[in-house]
Structure formats: structure tokens, C-alpha cells
Amino acid sequence: MKVPKILILGAGYGGLMTAKGLQKHLRPGEAEVTLVNQNSYHYITTKLHEPAAGTSHHDHARLSILSVIHPHRVNFIQDQVTSINTETKEVTLKDQSEPLSYDYLVIGLGSAPETFGIKGLLENAFFIRSIDSVRMIREHMEYMFSRYAEEKKDELITIVVGGAGFTGIEYVGELVDRMPELCREYDIPLEKVRIVNVEAAPTVLPGFDSDLVSYATDYLKNKGVEFHINTPIAECTHEGVILKGGEEIKAATVVWTGGVRGNKIVEDAGIETMRGRVKVDGQLRAPGHEEIFIIGDSSLVFPSENERPYPPTAQIATQQGQFLGKNLVSLIRDGKMDTFAYHAKGTVASLGRKEAIGIVGKNSKLMGMKASLMKKIIELRWLYLLGGISLVLRKGKF
Ligand code: FAD
Ligand code: NAD
């Protein structure tokens, strides 16, 4: 009998969890599972704001895929996916002459920055999206600080963060922690540094609990962060940003955290998308493609017809991966599948190493050290899910 081929694209929260599930639940020889990822490591996206600010080394935000995947159960290929052909059921990789064929395809390729066509952003701003991209931010920022000693231009020590969603706020929190050390290193008076967070909406963290938003903004303002709310960035140049209305903020470092969209490879495959994301059915399948499952940031899951979709988070990507790891086994064995149900457990956002805000469970608000501890527990849980207690002990950081 022909063994079905399951091909998983992307070793992020969704893809890696699917691979782990299949590795656990499939009997040997029941299916051929292949995982493709462009790096040999999984990056812990939820921690990328730390190395981007330089508060931790980027190695703390990544782990080797082969340290959590058994190569005799899941075939791992390090390569870049370049295209998906849904007609021939084949996936093309950058460095392999032969495409990979599949019976079932799991797409977990994550997201890309949403720039809304804002002029100059792609060319002049930095993005918190991968180990490579955050390494560049840190090194660029440090180089700008080092130049200040000679050139004394204020824009060299001005950092603009575009967007005050969770990524923007978490990054600003890390910057606040990093600045005293960085200023000591380059002999710069701390009060000379400007960290400017620009937000288009009338409030930071639009839609989030107002008490927690006030706590976060008061804390960050006390640390010297300037907020420009209700003022969208209209353009990004090599000298800084221009806000709607014409005001210019000169800054040598601009980091865009203004939102995400689905991976373009999915759109290019001819699968129906909304801002690059695919509205999946109850079994996480793409419309019109019974054998293609989409998870994580590339997928759109609606609580019900008239509601907004769940935001793209590691939390939902992980649950989708856990679900699919079991559901694909059930599909292969007896052709049956369950329906995915998302269980939102809350949202916790860090404001640097010791501060955080969050809502856990139904409506329990946390702030300060307690929230920060909760955030660290959530991060450790991800390590535990991937590699048990030994990975927690090896990679966990308090
Ligand atoms: P990802 O985790 O992004 O993984 C995608 C994988 O696909 C990557 O390994 C990538 O290398 C690979 N890939 C991409 N393109 C290709 C290609 N062409 N070929 C081969 N491989 C490819 N969410 C939370 O729930 N809680 C948080 O605290 C939280 N904090 C965050 C903090 C930051 C700074 C950021 C940026 C996001 C945060 N999020 C958080 C959101 C969360 O990280 C994402 O929703 C989550 O990573 C999505 O998981 P995913 O599996 O879809 O994709
Ligand atoms: P987001 O879409 O949540 O926030 C982007 C922000 O940028 C919004 O507030 C938006 O109003 C603003 N913006 C858009 N255009 C702008 C412009 N021209 N000028 C200024 N501001 C502009 O994006 P994100 O913060 O990157 O988050 C992406 C996803 O990851 C979300 O689902 C989020 O919940 C999740 N996430 C979660 C956590 C956490 O749980 N701790 C942390 C980071 C990200």
C-alpha cells in the first residue's frame, strides 16, 4: 500500500508542533513526514524583541530543529520554499533541483511585515521578524551610538518605533532596559537618547484593556519614551519618518512594528487570501483544497461568522499545530477529522525584563512583576511542549 506523504512547510510554532505531534502519534511506516524550514533552527518569535534591543543574545531566541525532531521519524530539509503548485501537488525549494511531492500539505510559513504601501518603509526601516533581522537592528543601533561620540548628531541616538501594538510596546520596553548600559558603553548622557513610539490609532495597544494600557504607557513614559498617538507614519526616509500632517522625526534607526500579513508564497500559490491570510475551514483546510492545511499567521480563524478573526499569535499557532498533529493521524487511519476550537488563555506582554501587563483566564488583570513572571512561565511552557524538562533546563531563562 502507498504510504501517504505529509509535507510541512515552516518550523515555527504551528509547523514544529504539527511535526512533534506526528512524530508522537504516527506508528512507524504509517506516513512519510517531511519538514522544510529555511534555517536549521526554530526561532522563538515571541522573544525576538529582546535580541533586537540587545537585552539578550540572539541564541536565546533560537534552538536547533534537530534537537527536538527525531530524524528517523521526521525527515528534515533545510531549504527555502520558493513556490507551491497545488495542481501537481508539488513544492519547489531553492536549492533542490527536484520538487517535493505531497499527499497532504501543511503550510506554517508565518507572516511578513504589513507596510500598507507606505513609501520608503521597505527600503529604510528595520523589522522584527527573524534572527537575521534582529541581529541587524542591534548592530545598526550600536553603530549609530558609536558614531555619536564624534559626530554629535541627535538623530544618531534617536530610535523611532512605528506602531504601538504588542510588538512595538514589547520592543520599546526592551529598549528602555538597554539604554543605560548602551549609553555607559558609548559615553552618552542617557537623557539625550530619544525613543519615539508612533501609533496611528487614538491609543497604544488599540482594543486592549484600558487600565493595563495606562499602566504600560505611564511606566514607559516615566522611563523617557515619547508617544505620538493618533499620528500615522506617512513616509519613511533614510533620515527618519514623516508623519501624516508633515511633521518629520529625524532618526537613524526606524523599526516598523505596524502589523503583519500572511506569507506571500501562499498568495502566489493561487490560494484565496485576505491580506495574505487564508480563511480556513473547521479542519484548518484551505478553501477548495481538501489536502492543504494552513496554520499560524498564514491562517484566518473566525470565532463566528460576524466576528473579527482571532489575532495571529503563537498561542493559536501552537494549538493549531497540536490539533493537526492528532487530526492528520486520524484522517490517515480512518478518514475522520475533528473540528478545531481555539481556547484563548489570555495575553501577556513584557515591558522589559521585570515589568509586564496581561490578562489571563477570563478577565484577570496582571501588571508589574507578577505579569512578568507569568510571561516567563508562558515562554518556558513552549520549551516544555517542544522538548520536555530537559529543553527547559537547557534553554530556559529567568
Ligand atoms: P513563525 O513562528 O513565524 O514561523 C514560520 C517559520 O517558517 C519560520 O521558522 C521561518 O523561518 C519559516 N519560513 C518562512 N518562510 C519560509 C520559506 N520560504 N521557506 C522555508 N521556511 C520558511 N504571540 C503570542 O501568542 N504571544 C507572545 O508573547 C508573542 N510575542 C511576540 C513577540 C514578537 C516580537 C513578535 C514579532 C511576535 C509575537 N507573537 C506572540 C506573535 C507570534 O510570534 C506569531 O503569531 C507566531 O510566531 C506565528 O507562528 P507561525 O508558526 O505561524 O510562524
Ligand atoms: P498589530 O497589528 O497588533 O499592531 C500594529 C500597530 O501598528 C497597530 O496598533 C496599528 O494601529 C499601528 N499602525 C499601523 N499603521 C501605522 C502607521 N502608518 N503609523 C503608525 N502606526 C501604525 O501588530 P504587532 O504588534 O506586530 O502584532 C502582530 C500579532 O502578534 C498580533 O496578533 C499580536 O497580538 C501578536 N503579538 C502578541 C504579543 C503578546 O501576546 N505578548 C506580542 C507581540 C505580538
pLDDT in tens, 31-52: 999 999 999 999 999 999 999 9
Ligand 2 within 6 A of CB of 232: yes
The DSSP letter of residue 392 is H
| Per-residue pLDDT tens digits for 296-348 | 999 999 998 788 999 999 999 999 999 999 999 999 999 999 999 999 999 99
Kindly give, in sequence order, each residue whose CB lies less than 8 Å from that of residue 391, ignoring residues fewer than 6 positions away. Answer: 63, 67, 68, 383, 384
pLDDT at 398 > cutoff 80: no
Ligand 2 within 6 A of CB of 311: yes
| Cα 294 from Cα 104, distance rounded (Å) | 11
pLDDT at 265 > cutoff 90: yes
Q: Is residue 43 helix, strand or coil?
A: strand
Nearest ligand 1 atom to alpha carbon 316: 25
Give the model's pLDDT for residue 305: 79
Of 189-193, 220-224, 393-397, the range with the lowest mean pLDDT is 393-397
- Ligand positioned closest to the Cα atom of 161: 2
C-alpha cell recorded at residue 212:
493595563
Per DSSP bridges, beta strands 260-262 and 126-127 are: unpaired
Indicate the average pLDDT of the chain.
96
| Per-residue pLDDT tens digits for 72-125 | 999 999 999 999 999 999 999 999 999 999 999 999 999 999 999 999 999 999
* 231 phi and psi angles, rounded to 5 deg: -135, 95
| Cα 256 from Cα 311, distance rounded (Å) | 18
Q: What band does 361 get if pLDDT is binned at 50, 70 and 90?
A: confident
Nearest ligand 2 atom to alpha carbon 205: 9
| Cα 90 from Cα 173, distance rounded (Å) | 43
pLDDT at 397 > cutoff 80: no
In this structure, are residues 255 and 128 in contact, taking their beta carbons and an 8 Å threshold? yes
The angle subtended at Cα 259 by Cα 114 and Cα 202, nearest 5°, is 125
Query: Residue 9: left (phi > 0), alpha (psi -120 to 50), or beta?
Result: beta
The HSE-up count of residue 167 (CA atoms within 13 Å, CB side) is: 22
| Cα 95 from Cα 101, distance rounded (Å) | 16
Q: What percent of the chain has pLDDT over 90?
A: 94
pLDDT at 246 > cutoff 80: yes
Give the model's pLDDT for residue 325: 97
Q: Which domains does the chain have, with CATH numbers?
A: 5-38+79-114+260-336 (3.50.50.100), 121-256 (3.50.50.60)
Give the model's pLDDT for residue 5: 98
Q: Kindly give the distance from the C-alpha atom of residue 232 to the centroid of ligand 2, in angstroms, as a whole number.
A: 13
Q: Kindly give the distance from the C-alpha atom of residue 218 to the centroid of ligand 1, in angstroms, as a whole number.
A: 29
Kindly give, in sequence order, each residue whose CB lies less than 8 Å from that of residue 206, ignoring residues fewer than 6 positions away. Answer: 165, 199
C-alpha cell recorded at residue 125:
526601516
CA-to-CA dists, residue 25 to 7, 31, 275, 338, angstroms: 16, 11, 34, 16
Active site residue 170: yes
Give the model's pLDDT for residue 306: 82
Q: Kindly give the distance from the C-alpha atom of residue 226 to the centroid of ligand 2, in angstroms, as a whole number.
A: 18
ipTM above 0.90, yes or no: yes
Of 86-95, 130-139, 384-393, the range with the lowest mean pLDDT is 384-393
* Catalytic annotation, pick one of 170, 174, 355, 379: 170
Ligand 2 within 6 A of CB of 347: yes
- Ligand positioned closest to the Cα atom of 134: 1
Ligand 2 within 6 A of CB of 45: no
In this structure, are residues 238 and 124 in contact, taking their beta carbons and an 8 Å threshold? yes
C-alpha cell recorded at residue 374:
507569568
Q: What band does 396 get if pLDDT is binned at 50, 70 and 90?
A: confident
Q: Kindly give the distance from the C-alpha atom of residue 169 to the centroid of ligand 2, in angstroms, as a whole number.
A: 9
Which contacts qualify for 372-380: CB closer than 8 Å, 24 or more apart? 374/348, 375/348, 375/349, 375/350, 378/348, 379/44, 379/46, 379/47
The ligand 1 site (C-beta within 6 Å) comprises 10-15, 36-39, 42, 45-46, 48-49, 80-81, 108-110, 128, 167, 170, 263, 265, 296-297, 312-315, 317
Ligand 2 within 6 A of CB of 358: no
Nearest ligand 1 atom to alpha carbon 260: 36
Distance separating the N- and C-terminal Cα atoms of the chain: 50
Alpha helices in the chain, H assignment, sequence order: 13-25, 49-53, 121-124, 131-151, 166-185, 210-222, 264-268, 314-334, 369-395
CA-to-CA dists, residue 249 to 137, 139, 155, 167, 232, angstroms: 19, 21, 8, 21, 12
Q: Kindly give the distance from the C-alpha atom of residue 167 to the centroid of ligand 2, in angstroms, as a whole number.
A: 6
pLDDT at 362 > cutoff 90: no
In this structure, are residues 131 and 61 in contact, taking their beta carbons and an 8 Å threshold? yes
Q: What percent of the chain has pLDDT over 70?
A: 99
Length of the chain: 398
Max CA separation in the chain (angstroms) = 72
Ligand 2 within 6 A of CB of 391: no
Give the model's pLDDT for residue 395: 86
Q: Kindly give the distance from the C-alpha atom of residue 111 to the centroid of ligand 1, in angstroms, as a whole number.
A: 7
| Per-residue pLDDT tens digits for 149-199 | 899 999 999 999 999 999 999 999 999 999 999 999 999 999 999 999 999
